[in-house]
């Protein structure tokens, strides 16, 4: 017994290092805070992209007895906060930008310090109710009933997976039915949908690529014909994936017309609005999103259109019982946490996770501190900036894709007597080499287009003007060489 106590005391002395005491915590806080503020202050003048120079990145350099916060921050600064895309920069105009509201970081800080358990209502009614209220808020904004189910997931991919899994079980797609079930989507659907189908064991369903109109939206009459012939042939029209904002070109499928068909064929209707659904927060966009409220499930990514830091997607499922049937959690050691009717739903019963990041805090705190007006204005501003770019570039003689429905523009230059793809690749290269702004490209029908995606809350007109100047200047240079 004496030996046992001695051993415990010896270990206690060492393990207590994990609770460093107020003075050291203050020092860490102050230095991390200073680092964060300096980072934010540097964004306006800083680059959005820094090419990786190939230097060795090694993160297993910790010693047995630890290091100082100064050394840790120095390391982060020279590695993580250095190479690649800077998604916090207003110059991130490629892919689908994020942003990373500072309030989101503060929310994460608070969530992690207290480490509240947001997986089951019993463990923390406040945290779970906060997340459930945010789901209710989302449902209201999207026109869903307030008793819809939902989950704050890590992102859009997992949110889509949760919807696919729910649809699979609700529609009874198992065993021999898998190979008779048909899913419908356009070529522009996000790849995480294909991935979700494979993960959910639906890789062998029949995948129909529905043709698109000239603006890359789903051709509804083609969809109707496909569903009709599948039904007549004895196959099961199982699930339609509409996009409310495609990643590539920002197109919104005709949501209301698609709903007519999914009603007619009793098919599960899913809308992937990971990028675009946030635009529905702006009243002017209501006509474009008409019919979104008729879907069975819906995805929206607050780490895109609501500018929160990465790690937050939302899935809504109208039929909460269907969502729970696919995801409820039960184990003997969980008997105290069992759902009872007086309690709210628990995330553990509506998602693949049990213990999880308390993601609601960052979203709630941001809404609480800013109110919704600034969000709605910023989203609308992004749309108008994309439109401004579209008009200006047209004036500069570029070839433009469709006028932006949301905030993505595809464009390119047609050089006389030069190879178009090579020319546009060179244009993009010039922008990236400069690095103040970051843009991307895409390939549609095997042809290269340059892409502008405006979605960072930090992007304002000066950035867009700078990009236009860079592109026009680079175009003129390339034409004369």
Ligand X SMILES: *Cc1c(COP(=O)(O)O)cnc(C)c1O
* CB of 149 or CB of 156, closer to ligand X: 156
* Candidates 140-148, 149-157, 410-418, 434-442; binding stretch for ligand X (CB under 6 A): 149-157
Cβ 206 to ligand X shortest distance, Å: 22
The residue among 78, 97, 28, 9 whose CA lies nearest residue 408 is: 97
Per rule CB under 6 A, is residue 353 in the interface with ligand X?
no
Contacts of residue 427, defined as CB under 8 A and 6 or more positions apart, other chains included, come to 413, 450, 471, 474, 475, 478
In the bound complex, what is the minimum distance in angstroms from residue 328's beta carbon to ligand X? 24
Cα radius of gyration (the chain):
25
Residue 98 contacts ligand X per CB under 6 A: no
Smallest gap from residue 132 Cβ to ligand X (A): 21
DSSP H/E element including 409: strand 408-412
Closer to ligand X at the Cβ: 158 or 427? 158
The whole-angstrom separation of Cα 206 and Cα 321 is: 27
- Binding segment for ligand X among 41-49, 169-177, 272-280, 388-396 (CB under 6 A)? 272-280
Q: Which is nearer to ligand X, 97 or 291 (CB)?
A: 97
Kindly tell me which of 91 and 98 has the beta carbon lying closer to ligand X. 98
Give percent helix, percent strand, percent coil of the chain, each to the nearest 5: 50, 15, 40
> What's the CA gap between 285 and 444, in Å, rounded?
26
**Residue in this structure with the two tokens 């609770």, named with its chain if needed:** 19
Which residue sits closest to ligand X, CB atoms considered? 156
- Candidates 86, 103, 247, 407; binder of ligand X (CB under 6 A) is 247
How many angstroms separate the CA atoms of 298 and 296, rounded? 7
Q: How far is CA 34 from CA 31, 106, 317, in A?
A: 5, 14, 42
**Shortest distance, position 210 Cβ to ligand X, whole Å:** 16
Show contacts with ligand X in window 127-146 (CB under 6 A).
none
By CB under 6 A, residue 440 contacts ligand X? no
Residue from 120, 162, 261, 274 binding ligand X (CB under 6 A): 274
Size of the site for ligand X (CB under 6 A): 13
Joined tokens for residue 30? 């102050």
Any contact of residue 297 with ligand X (CB under 6 A)? no
Stretch that binds ligand X, among 69-77, 205-213, 268-276, 465-473 (CB under 6 A): 268-276
CB of 254 to ligand X, least distance (A): 16
Distance (Å, rounded) from C-alpha 198 to C-alpha 117? 31
Cα–Cα distance for residue pair 205/208, rounded to 1 Å: 10
**Where on the chain is the footprint of ligand X (CB under 6 A)?**
96, 155-157, 190, 192, 243, 247, 272, 274-275, 301, 313
């Amino acid at each position: 017994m004496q030996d046992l106590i001695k051993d415990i005391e010896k270990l206690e002395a060492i393990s207590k290092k994990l609770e460093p005491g107020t003075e050291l915590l203050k020092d860490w806080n102050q230095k991390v805070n200073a680092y964060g503020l300096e980072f934010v202050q540097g964004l306006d003048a800083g680059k959005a992209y820094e090419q990786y120079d190939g230097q060795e990145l090694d993160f297993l350099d910790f010693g047995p007895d630890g290091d100082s916060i100064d050394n840790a921050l120095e390391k982060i600064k020279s590695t993580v906060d250095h190479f690649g895309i800077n998604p916090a920069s207003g110059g991130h105009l490629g892919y689908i930008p994020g942003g990373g509201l500072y309030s989101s970081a503060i929310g994460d800080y608070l969530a992690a310090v207290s480490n509240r358990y947001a997986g089951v209502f019993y463990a923390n009614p406040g945290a779970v109710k906060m997340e459930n209220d945010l789901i209710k808020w989302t449902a209201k904004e999207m026109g869903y009933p307030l008793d819809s189910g939902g989950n704050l997931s890590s992102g859009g991919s997992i949110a889509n997976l949760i919807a696919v899994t729910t649809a699979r079980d609700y529609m009874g797609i198992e065993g021999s039915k898998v190979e008779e079930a048909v899913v419908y989507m356009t070529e522009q659907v996000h790849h995480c949908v294909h991935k979700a189908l494979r993960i959910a064991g639906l890789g062998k369903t029949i995948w129909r690529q529905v043709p698109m109109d000239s603006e890359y939206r789903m051709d509804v009459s083609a969809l109707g014909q496909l569903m009709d012939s599948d039904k007549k042939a004895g196959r099961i029209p199982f699930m339609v994936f509409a996009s409310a904002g495609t990643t590539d070109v920002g197109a919104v499928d005709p949501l209301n017309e698609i709903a007519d068909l999914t009603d007619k064929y009793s098919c599960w209707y899913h809308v992937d609005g990971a990028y675009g659904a946030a635009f529905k927060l702006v009243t002017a966009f209501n006509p474009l999103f008409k019919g979104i409220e008729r879907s069975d499930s819906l995805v929206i990514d607050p780490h895109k259109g609501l500018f929160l830091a990465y790690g937050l997607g939302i899935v809504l499922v109208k039929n909460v019982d269907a969502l729970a049937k696919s995801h409820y959690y039960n184990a003997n050691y969980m008997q105290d946490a069992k759902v009872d009717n007086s309690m709210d739903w628990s995330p553990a019963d509506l998602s693949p996770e049990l213990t999880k990041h308390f993601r609601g805090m960052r979203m709630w705190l941001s809404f609480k501190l800013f109110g919704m007006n600034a969000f709605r204005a910023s989203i609308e501003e992004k749309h108008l900036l994309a439109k401004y770019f579209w008009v200006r570039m047209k004036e500069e003689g570029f070839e433009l894709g469709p006028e932006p429905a949301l905030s993505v523009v595809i464009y390119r230059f047609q050089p006389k007597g030069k190879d178009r793809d090579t020319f546009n690749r060179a244009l993009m290269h010039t922008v990236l080499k400069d690095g103040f702004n970051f843009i991307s490209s895409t390939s549609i029908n095997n042809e290269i287009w340059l892409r502008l995606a405006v979605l960072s809350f930090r992007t304002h007109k000066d950035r867009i003007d700078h990009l236009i100047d860079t592109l026009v200047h680079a175009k003129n240079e390339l034409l004369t060489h």
